[in-house]
Structure 1
Amino acid sequence: MGVVNKTLDGAKSVMKNFSTPKASLAKVEFLVVLTAFLQLSLVIFGSWRRRCNNPTLRCLIWAAYTLSSYLIVYTLGLMTEASFQNELLPVWAILLMIFFGSADSCSAYSLEDCEHWRNYAWQFLIKCTGVAILLIIYEIRWPMAMVLFVLFSLVELKCTDRRAALFVASGYGRQCVAKLMADYMSYEHQSSEGNIDPIQMRGYKYVVRGEELILFKRSKKRIAAERKTPSYCRSLKITDGVITIEKVWKCQGWLLRSGGGDEDSKLKDICLSFSLCKLLSLRFSGFSLPKQAHEKLWKLIQHLYGEGNGYERAFKVVEVELSFLFDTFYTNYPIIFLPFRWPVKLMGFLVLIIGSLMTLGLYGQLYISNTNQDEVHLATAGRLSIDFLVTALILIVFICVELVQLVLMAISDWAKVSLLCKYVHNQSWHNSKRVGKLIRLICRTQLLKPWERKLRQYSLLDSYDYTPSRWLHNRFTALYIDHPGGGKKQSTPAKLSSEVKQAVFHSLMSSYPRVLENGRDSLRLNKVEHKLSWACGLETQTQVIIVWHIATSICEHEHRGQISDPNFRVATYLSKYLAYLVAFSSKLLPDHPGDAEYIFYRIIYELRALLEGRNTKEERIQKLKEIGETRDENGTWSVISQGAWLGQQLLKGKRGPKLIWKVLAEFWAELMVYVAPSDNAKAHVEHLAMGGEFMTHLWALVSHAGIKREPLVERLTLNRSQSWPN
């Protein structure tokens, strides 16, 4: 009993020590510093997630994004209820508010956060109320009142940017922003009918910058003339201040003219990507382009493809386009780079430096001379108190945060577009080669790649028996984290090679304008349609992918020596990539995610029962080959049986390995194009924040071209009573 009493007394003593003024101050200091470093991590890694599919990194970003807001509220509460007086608490409170809106590269973690823009506004108001209460308690006087006013002006600036960015990315905000562009694009193709030249971009009046200057001008005469076609869209006019793609290509300044400083058209392509991003954004607001506009865009894509390694240029344009799209939804850049906003950002940085120096100057002498041990301040050997050092550390961290953000924004694609458009608009710059070289240097600086540039892989025969750790994935943790599920284990990602991009782009070019045929066209060209087309008309697209994936896996094992064959690599990479989409990202595929998940887990269950006890790849392949060579006594026609049979058809044909892999490579490339059209634009934007998907790049291309997937006229209804195909 005595031991228990001593333990309780010790616990009470510890709790009493935690409730002292010094302990409370230390807690506030720790929380303020922690919030500062959380914001620094958001600034550095906020946009990194579109270049990396690392779950640990995403978890850290989510923790920093979520915790920082709660820590600010909690710390402000501790400050207002503190039982002690400290002159630096109001300064810390305002710095916390600055942190509340400081991460320009991570304004939102998910699309749902954008819809809560009004919630963010209310949070800002509540936090400002807490700061106001703290200022009233301390009765701040001149000159510190002026310093706090300077810092608080920065609070309003940064939080306003974030509120506006969230609003623009929300559903209602997108509608407001996209309406004018949708009206203009419904008319744009008519302004250049019969006068289109994608080489010189003649007739491509796609807006790059300045759409807010598009004016609605309708005179009475024009209204009378438009009675037959009463559409106010026809009254949209491009003013001189609006920069279009046509104007960029017509620019005669040294930087952009033919034979000048942009011989490979990389700078002009940045403007093209930005303009196409505006068109792609219309899909998220329920707007669509007319058929003539899609045909015009397709001519542009054909032109990009027709120049040597055109597929590389086309995918590069799409890469940058999707990076703009990511920034539109998840960063403050669309607001910061509005006209006249960039100078405001620079002024904000100067305000921060001036306010920081004034704060340190006013409080420095006070804390150096303060040696009273009865005060809450904790004096150090150098007679500088810890709380003063904390203030200095926070200000240094925040200056670093802003400096890093300025550097990242200065070399961002948004800054490049802004500079290039100013160059096009400002005639005096055209004759200055020095100005052109400076802009060229800035615009050609790229420290980071736009996205991950990898194909994630999944092998069914390697991962079907995978079971997640029950320590990490169980009923309790299911409330907090997503479970991968049995049989879901990614293989090592493959580098997105030029041969894969070329194969897919070639299939895209040969598909338009015909109806997409789910792989049948490639089989027809290789003269194997009558034998293999049965595997293209299965009940669901998930079954088609898995059947061909199993067959490709069998052929891959049998022809391991063909790894040097480009068709071998194209077929195996795309096979495992589409299998990965089935297992992990079925929202990007045609089937309903619920149906795809049910079919996938049913296949996993059947495969585990079928291959039980076969631990090596050799044994598993051998079993599948046996299934492919014999009929099931009950006439079972499962997906696994179909895949095994298809694999045997490929291996036992009269064609050699090279022709087999040519058939498979062209089939998988065509299948990629077939599944690319999608109305689920939201799913693609969500994946942009997870390292990006190659499927999203292809989706952007087919969206511009207006390619849609038609339902198959005939699908085989497979059941137990069906016979095996010949």
Structure 2
Amino acid sequence: MELFPESVTKLWNEWELRALVLLSLFLQIVLILLGNRRKYIASNWVRIIIWLAYLAADWIAAVCIGVLSNENGDDNSSQPNSLIWAFWAPFLLLHLGGPDTITAYSLEDNELWLRHFLALVIQFGGTFYIFLRSWKSKLLNILAIPIFVAGLIKYGERTWVLRSASSEQFRDALLPRPDPGPNYPKFMDEYTSGKAEGYQVSIQQRGKTSRTVHSPPEGDILQQAYYFFETFKGLFADIILSSQRRKRSQSFFQGKHSEQVLEVTLKVAFEVVEIELGFMYDVLYTKATVTCSRWGSLLRSISLSFTISAFIAFLTIDRQEYSTIDVIITYLLLVGAIVLEIYAILVLLFSDWTKRWSSKNKNTAVQLIIKAISRFQLRFLFPTNQRWSKTMAQYNLIDFCLKPRPIKVRVLQKFHIYQIFEKYYHKNLAVFSEEMKKLIFEYLVEISKSASDIEAGKQLCTGRGDLVLLEKLGLSNNEDFSHSILLWHIATDLCYENDAEKNPDCKACKVLSDYMLYLLVMCPFMLPDGIGEIRYRDSCAEAKEFFKDRKHIKSRTQACKDLLRVSTEFPASQVKGDRSKSLLFDACRLAKSLQSREHKWELMRGVWVEMLCYAASQCRPNQHAKQLRRGGELLTHVWLLMAHLDVRENFQISQGNAKGGIIVS
């Protein structure tokens, strides 16, 4: 008994290969259009679409090559359709090479470059087998050769870029050449022989020598950003930078001038950092390192010219013996390959890499081309000046406990992924405002100037809001970092809803509070280790229980007022012991103690900015790199800005590079 009717089976056999080839082309279009946009779009849906397209693209192309191999191995391989189908095989190599805008979906893909190299060898062998089996000494067979070369170039580029961006290769490329230093045996031989001959021999240092460190270029912000990118990209590989580089960066970013100049420096500082991180994203996740090189330009010219020549030649050959559908699909593959290649060139033309190159080399022709294309207002195709999302994710504990739950799906609950969907359902976005930039930048500049030595810098980096508490209230917090975040988040919410007037400090505290809780709940891997998830879940459970018993609570304002009415004469820990890690009513106690303070929002602002900077300094570099593909993360920008201002624990190495010389008298 047949599972499918004969007509369905016949239709599938006829359209299987055609559908797969068209799907492969469609996935390439999706990837080239959306691949680079995840750099500045924080939408979960965009990430899901790119993830599905990225995983499916290689699989579909590999399946197509397998189907083509079977078709050419059958007795029907001598039919005209089999010949034009075999012509499609090199296009699948092009598709396996992937678009320039995305080579790796995640950092882990770069580590699998050896697997991609093996796949390159296998898929190349498969397409070459198809090419040989279909050889009929016809013009169509000859036309496959330039496409074959173009596909091999594209696939080879992808494998090379993945290898270059892998952690081991990336770090090795940044390390300086091995330096054996002065010849110690020769030095000591001269010293010993001089002493043996009766001379008075002494050793004196000749002075310090070091590798040349150039100053940041004047004027063009792209040139300045690229200079700092080349200088600081070693941070992503856990490489400690020299004091010379540190001092040049610090003097540039501190802006020791008047208030008016500080505003200019504020704007420039954040723009330089976002351009740097844009360069870093391109290095880790795209083909920028190849396409922006001379060899890359040469290979791009070869692949594009070969594809165009194959298209022109296909227009001239006799196509009568082939199916009309197959001819149309072939046209789509040829035109699609050319259009995707041209689009990739245009994307490169609008990139910071090209703008920086044209500015450096005073290439007015490229600048005129960019201006001419910009007049067409094709912002969807070529979005300019967008390097990250410029948003701060927001997550609020009281909102989470008050809002109605999304519809529970039994299947999701069974596989324990309902909680994940529930968290994303309650996540919001806030714009990273100019006021927030000023708040963070002024704080970092102030502590950068006050940190006179390494130990002072370390002390400032390890502050978790404790320094502000110690200065203003004479208090300190010995609990882990998650305790501080959750305690101050709830207290900030209670104070915010209880204040009738919302001043700028009040709003800034609210945004930072919700952002830090988002990191605790959604990105715990970016924060120091602790029991944050347990504290959060216990606090949520207690809050839900509290609101459940009070049916009249319909809003956050009412919820906060009811929480503040609860008597907190005794600490909650004395009642609960170690049974629950909830901080709900400990936060109520803190909020009540803050209510009587005249400048409570100034105090809380200092606490939140200090906690933000502490979190940024404690996050591992590879976690910062991972966030670049998710629309960017404010924490990453703060981390790099702290590095530029020398507000880091592991940022300096000493200048012990003097040479010794022998003095004979």
Moved more, 677-686 or 116-125: 677-686
Post-superposition offset of 1:307: 4.0
Identity of aligned residues (%): 21
1:91 to 2:91 alignment: no
SS at match of 1:389: helix
Query: 1:107·1:166 contact (CA, 8 Å) conserved in 2?
Result: yes
Of 478, 492, 504, the residue aligned with 1:566 is 504
Query: 2:215·2:248 contact (CA, 8 Å) conserved in 1?
Result: no
Query: 2:498·2:557 contact (CA, 8 Å) conserved in 1?
Result: no
Of 519, 535, 543, the residue aligned with 2:465 is 519
1:155 to 2:144 alignment: no
Post-superposition offset of 1:584: 0.7
CA change 1:402–1:437 in 2 (3 A) is closer
1:79 to 2:68 alignment: yes
Instruction: For residues 57-102 of structure 1, give each alpha carbon's deviation from its aligned partner in whole angstroms, at most 9, with x where no partner exists.
Output: 1111011111111111111111111243322112211111111113
Post-superposition offset of 1:640: 1.6
Query: 1:546·1:639 contact (CA, 8 Å) conserved in 2?
Result: yes
1:577 to 2:521 alignment: no
Match of 1:281 in 2: 233
Aligned letter for 2:344?
Q
Match of 1:509 in 2: 445
Post-superposition offset of 1:418: 2.5
Of 635, 638, 660, the residue aligned with 1:695 is 635
Query: 1:603·1:639 contact (CA, 8 Å) conserved in 2?
Result: yes
Post-superposition offset of 1:417: 2.4
- Structure 2 unmatched runs, 5+: 192-202, 375-381, 577-581, 651-665
Match of 1:27 in 2: 16
Give the alignment of 1:469-548 within 5 angstroms: 469-471=407-409, 474=412, 477=415, 483-484=419-420, 489-512=425-448, 513=451, 514=456, 515-516=459-460, 517-523=463-469, 528-530=472-474, 533-534=475-476, 537-548=477-488
Cα distance in structure 2, aligned partners of 1:409 and 1:310: 29
Match of 1:552 in 2: 492
Cα distance in structure 2, aligned partners of 1:69 and 1:318: 34
Post-superposition offset of 1:359: 2.6
SS at match of 1:635: helix
Cα distance in structure 2, aligned partners of 1:541 and 1:236: 40
Match of 1:200 in 2: none
Cα distance in structure 2, aligned partners of 1:234 and 1:552: 53
Query: 2:231·2:245 contact (CA, 8 Å) conserved in 1?
Result: no
Match of 1:645 in 2: 589
Query: 2:223·2:356 contact (CA, 8 Å) conserved in 1?
Result: yes
Post-superposition offset of 1:664: 2.3
Cα distance in structure 1, aligned partners of 2:602 and 2:34: 42
Cα distance in structure 2, aligned partners of 1:698 and 1:151: 46
Match of 1:293 in 2: 245
SS at match of 1:455: strand
Instruction: For residues 556-591 of structure 1, give each alpha carbon's deviation from its aligned partner in whole angstroms, at most 9, with x where no partner exists.
Output: 1112432xx2212211111111111111112222x2
Post-superposition offset of 1:470: 3.5
Aligned-residue Cα RMSD (Å) equals 3.4
Cα distance in structure 2, aligned partners of 1:152 and 1:345: 14
Query: 2:391·2:430 contact (CA, 8 Å) conserved in 1?
Result: yes
Match of 1:208 in 2: none
Of 383, 395, 403, the residue aligned with 1:458 is 395
Relative contact order higher in (CA < 8 Å, ≥ 6 apart): 2
Aligned letter for 2:61?
I
Match of 2:566 in 1: 627
Aligned letter for 1:636?
V
Query: 1:46·1:106 contact (CA, 8 Å) conserved in 2?
Result: yes
Cα distance in structure 1, aligned partners of 2:256 and 2:411: 47
CA change 1:482–1:220 in 2 (3 A) is farther
TM-score, normalised to structure 2, is: 0.82
Match of 1:664 in 2: 604
SS at match of 1:456: strand
Instruction: For residues 619-660 of structure 1, give each alpha carbon's deviation from its aligned partner in whole angstroms, at most 9, with x where no partner exists.
Output: 42133213364336883375222211111112133x2xxx33
Match of 1:366 in 2: 319
- Structure 1 unmatched runs, 5+: 1-7, 184-215, 239-243, 250-264, 371-376, 379-384, 424-428, 711-726
Give the alignment of 1:168-179 within 5 angstroms: 168-179=164-175
1:411 to 2:350 alignment: yes
SS at match of 2:640: helix
Cα distance in structure 2, aligned partners of 1:174 and 1:493: 33
Of 326, 348, 358, the residue aligned with 1:387 is 326
Give the alignment of 1:194-343 within 5 angstroms: 246=216, 248-249=217-218, 265=219, 268-303=220-255, 306-343=261-298
Query: 1:35·1:72 contact (CA, 8 Å) conserved in 2?
Result: yes
Match of 2:108 in 1: 112
Cα distance in structure 2, aligned partners of 1:358 and 1:582: 59
TM-score, normalised to structure 1, is: 0.75
Post-superposition offset of 1:668: 1.8
Of 135, 148, 166, the residue aligned with 2:162 is 166
Of 176, 180, 184, the residue aligned with 2:176 is 180
Of 43, 50, 59, the residue aligned with 1:70 is 59
Post-superposition offset of 1:234: 5.8
Cα distance in structure 1, aligned partners of 2:400 and 2:424: 6
Post-superposition offset of 1:304: 8.5
Query: 1:31·1:75 contact (CA, 8 Å) conserved in 2?
Result: yes
CA change 1:624–1:111 in 2 (3 A) is same
Post-superposition offset of 1:301: 1.4
Post-superposition offset of 1:17: 3.3
Cα distance in structure 2, aligned partners of 1:52 and 1:28: 35
Cα distance in structure 1, aligned partners of 2:532 and 2:29: 40
Instruction: For residues 198-244 of structure 1, give each alpha carbon's deviation from its aligned partner in whole angstroms, at most 9, with x where no partner exists.
Output: xxxxxxxxxxxxxxxxxx999999x979x9999xx968579xxxxx5
Of 134, 138, 143, the residue aligned with 1:138 is 134
SS at match of 1:494: strand
SS at match of 2:566: helix
Query: 1:245·1:272 contact (CA, 8 Å) conserved in 2?
Result: no
Aligned letter for 2:163?
F
Query: 1:37·1:397 contact (CA, 8 Å) conserved in 2?
Result: no
Cα distance in structure 2, aligned partners of 1:320 and 1:458: 28
Instruction: For residues 302-352 of structure 1, give each alpha carbon's deviation from its aligned partner in whole angstroms, at most 9, with x where no partner exists.
Output: 139854332221011001111111111100111211234224323422222
Query: 1:104·1:333 contact (CA, 8 Å) conserved in 2?
Result: yes
> Matched residue pairs, number?
599
CA change 1:440–1:129 in 2 (3 A) is closer
